[in-house]
Each structure stands twice: as C-alpha cells, then as structure tokens.
C-alpha cells in the first residue's frame, strides 16, 4: 500500500489505524431500537496512516482515491454541516467526539495530525465504510491526545459522535468495528454495550454481493424517517398502556413485561394500518406540532406529514426475535441448522423489503437471483441499495459467482472487476494500531 505523508525527517514512525468494515448477518434497523444484532467484521477495511504534529492545530486529511479530494481544517474550529454531505464529515465526527472528551478531562489538545486514508471497499455499499471512518478518526485522536479510552468506550463514543453527521443510528457498526475477533461473529447487546462470540457453521460460506446502487444513509432522509416512525409508534403504545413517554421499543417491552411475540400482537391490535398523520400523532400524545418537531422528529424529518408506525414496529419486534433464534441455532448446531439460519435470513429480507421498506428493486433482483442457490440471502446494512449477504454451500461459490456475473453484473454495462462486486468473506478482527519505520 502507498501512503503519501509529508515529512522532513529521514526516518520516522508512521502509525496505522485499521478500522474494519462489517456485514450484518441479521438484525437490521433494530440497534437504535435497543435490540441485539448479529454482525461480523470482514477482512476488508479502512487504513488510516497518520503522523503526529506537535504544537499545531492543523488536521490535514488526504484520501488515496483522488476523486475524494483532500481536506484541511483547524482542529480548534471543527464545524460539521449536516446539510452538506462530504466523506470527511464521518472522520471529523470521530475526531470531534474525542476532542470533546479530552476537553472534559482537561487534557492538552494542542497537537495537529496528518492523515492519509486508504480503503478497499466501495463507499455507500452498506458495509459500514462510513462508521469505519468515524472509528478511525476517534482512534487516532484517542492515541495522539492520550485520552485512554478502551475499545468498549470508543465504540460508545463513536456511536454518539456519528450523530454529528445527522444520522440517528444505533451502535452496531461502531461496536463490531472496534470489538470484533477473528473467526467469530458477534452478538452485540446494548445498555450496557456487551458482545458475545458466535461461532458460525463451517460447512457454509458467506458471500457479499454489491448491487452497485449507492446507498448513503446520511445523504437522504429515509433512514431517519424510519427511526422516527418507530419512535412515534412506541410513544403511541406507551400512551395507550399508561407508560408515559417511552421512545425506544425495547424499553417499552421491558416496561410492559411482554415477550417479543406479545409485542407483535399488541402492535397488530393497537396500531392502525394506514399512516398516522402529524395531526393525529399530536392529538394522541397531547402535544403541539412544534413540540413534536422539537422533541421527537429530527432536523431532516420535520417536514414529514405521515408515519407508518405499525409496519415499522412489526419489523422491529419480528427482527429482534430472529436475532435470538439465529444465535440459539448457532449455539446448538443440528443437522437442520443451516436451513434454519437460511430461513431466518430470507424472512429478514422480506421484512426489510415489505415492512421497513428499506430495500431497492435492483437489490431485490440480486437477492432473487442468488436465492435458489443459497441457504439464505438478505440485504445487509441500512439498505436502499448497497450489498446483499448470502449463505451458500462452500462447493457452490464458483457456480454462484458465474451465474450472478452473467445474469446481473454484465447487464449493468459498467467497467469493474469481479472481485470488486462479489467476494467470499469470513469473520475478521477488530480495529488495530501498528507502526512502520519509514526511510
């Protein structure tokens, strides 16, 4: 790999942060609802080479891909514009999170840094390249300013910091990027953050397939619309059952003492099929539109006039149950376990497509092509494009790749290598730091 870092020294130590991409095997759009998810880190990653510049406040950020351009700013004057998308915003959000923590701890932050980014996954592919950038930024500044945050703390900080970009996500991407271990997927639980190793079946492989539909969750409003629809549905149920103003589905479940099956039943019975209007929501919650916009909606969803609450919560509760069953099946392998896992993946995709409406016609086309040759296949990541992940028999890898290449990718009439859009992956390690001596 080639990094261009300015230096007047003959020999210096160059620190490299590697922040992992991830594939979410199951548990889509439920981490920000408080429910467990089950992703794995993959070998592909973002490398961030950096050099500490003492007695400076300059951040110089470069990308080896020339189309992304370079970026410089004063670290004492970081402003992230949520209304304008730029790849550097993700890196800056991690930087800003650590700077704020350093200030809270009264640490010296009078240092600059030169950074060069190299990634081996296409951006906006649903493999968490954005969160990997957040983690890389936070890890570098944690190291330079000697803040002393451990990986669990960094994962939580990065999840919070990514909101600077304007996305109301959960903590899955940051947790797996930081805390992954080679050879294992992870069950990630929240409040408090904790992870459990999950050993996947060794008689199948996971293949990632890129739909080539760009899906950047911060660049459009659909992601945050789903967040607030689930939030509003939870508030409506909370009011009905005298639980006050609970906003998170998992908290409401705990407050009611119900199982996930019972929460699905309540959702079917107590929320209506047609979208809730803004006026109706305000009437149920006993608040004004202004209060709704300030306390419930996000800056980029204030103009939304109707909300599909029933469909979103049905996905959340059913997906949370699928995560539990997926983990249980992996822990107790039986002859039918591959069929069970595949069935759960297929059900997850159908729910994302039909209830959460976060798929894309081209992504569905790709999933449908692979499905007859796979145990299971589903979108992975936020959706609206990006990638699918398929669990397939190890002996069918070449057959699947050849079939999909001929029937999907060649019809796109775009110039790319097969390895860029389809690859088999296995659980990789989490973020790491290492040093190089440069002559």
Instruction: Indicate which residues carry an active-site annotation.
Output: 173
**Of 38, 40, 39, 41, nearest in space to 18 by CA:** 41
Asked, as a colleague might, if the bond just before 39 is cis with ω within 30 of 0, I would say no
Furthest-apart CA pair in the chain: how many Å?
71
Residues 6+ apart with CB under 8 A from 146: 107
The dihedral of CA 174, 189, 325, 266: what is its sign? negative
Three-state secondary-structure class, residue 428:
coil
Helical pair 260-270 and 222-240, crossing angle rounded to 10 deg: 90
- For β-strands 204-210 and 387-393, DSSP reports them as antiparallel
Residue 268 to residue 260: CA distance in whole angstroms: 12
CA distance 321 to 266: 15
Bridge partners, 187 (sequence order): 196
């Amino acid at each position: 790999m080639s990094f261009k870092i300015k230096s007047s020294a003959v020999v210096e130590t160059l620190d490299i942060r590697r922040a992992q991409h991830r594939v979410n095997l199951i548990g889509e759009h439920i981490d920000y609802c408080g429910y467990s998810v089950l992703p794995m880190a993959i070998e592909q990653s973002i490398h961030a080479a950096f050099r500490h510049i003492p007695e400076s406040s300059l951040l110089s950020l470069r990308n080896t891909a020339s189309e992304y351009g370079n970026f410089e700013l004063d670290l004492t004057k970081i402003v992230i514009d949520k209304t304008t998308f730029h790849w550097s915003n993700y890196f800056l959000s991690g930087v800003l999170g650590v700077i704020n923590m350093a200030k809270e701890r009264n640490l010296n932050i009078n240092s600059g840094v030169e950074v060069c980014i190299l990634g081996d996954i296409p951006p906006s592919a649903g493999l968490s390249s954005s969160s990997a950038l957040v983690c890389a930024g936070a890890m570098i500044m944690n190291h330079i300013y000697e803040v002393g945050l451990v990986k669990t703390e960094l994962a939580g900080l990065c999840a919070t910091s990514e909101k600077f970009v304007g996305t109301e996500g959960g903590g899955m991407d940051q947790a797996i990027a930081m805390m992954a271990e080679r050879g294992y997927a992870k069950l990630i639980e929240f409040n408090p953050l904790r992870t459990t190793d999950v050993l996947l079946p060794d008689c199948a492989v996971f293949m990632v397939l890129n739909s080539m539909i760009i899906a950047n969750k911060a660049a459009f409003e659909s992601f945050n619309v789903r967040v607030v629809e689930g939030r509003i549905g939870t508030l409506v149920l909370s009011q009905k059952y005298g639980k006050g103003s609970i906003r998170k589905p998992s908290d409401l479940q705990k407050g009611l003492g119900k199982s996930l099956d019972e929460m699905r039943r309540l959702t079917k019975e107590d929320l209506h099929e047609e979208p809730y209007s803004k006026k109706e929501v305000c009437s149920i919650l006993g608040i004004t539109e202004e209060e709704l916009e300030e306390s419930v909606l996000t800056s980029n969803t204030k103009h939304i006039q109707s909300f599909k609450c029933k469909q979103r919560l049905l996905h959340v509760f059913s997906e949370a149950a699928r995560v539990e069953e997926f983990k249980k099946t992996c822990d107790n392998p039986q002859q039918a376990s591959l069929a069970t896992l595949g069935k759960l993946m297929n059900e997850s995709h159908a729910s994302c497509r039909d209830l959460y409406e976060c798929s894309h016609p081209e992504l569905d086309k790709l999933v449908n092509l692979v499905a007859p040759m796979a145990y299971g296949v589903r979108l992975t990541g936020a959706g609206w494009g990006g990638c699918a992940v398929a669990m397939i028999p190890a002996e069918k890898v070449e057959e699947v790749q050849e079939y999909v290449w001929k029937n999907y990718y060649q019809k796109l009439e775009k110039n790319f290598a097969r390895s860029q859009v389809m690859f088999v992956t296995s659980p990789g390690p989490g973020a790491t730091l290492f040093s190089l001596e440069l002559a």
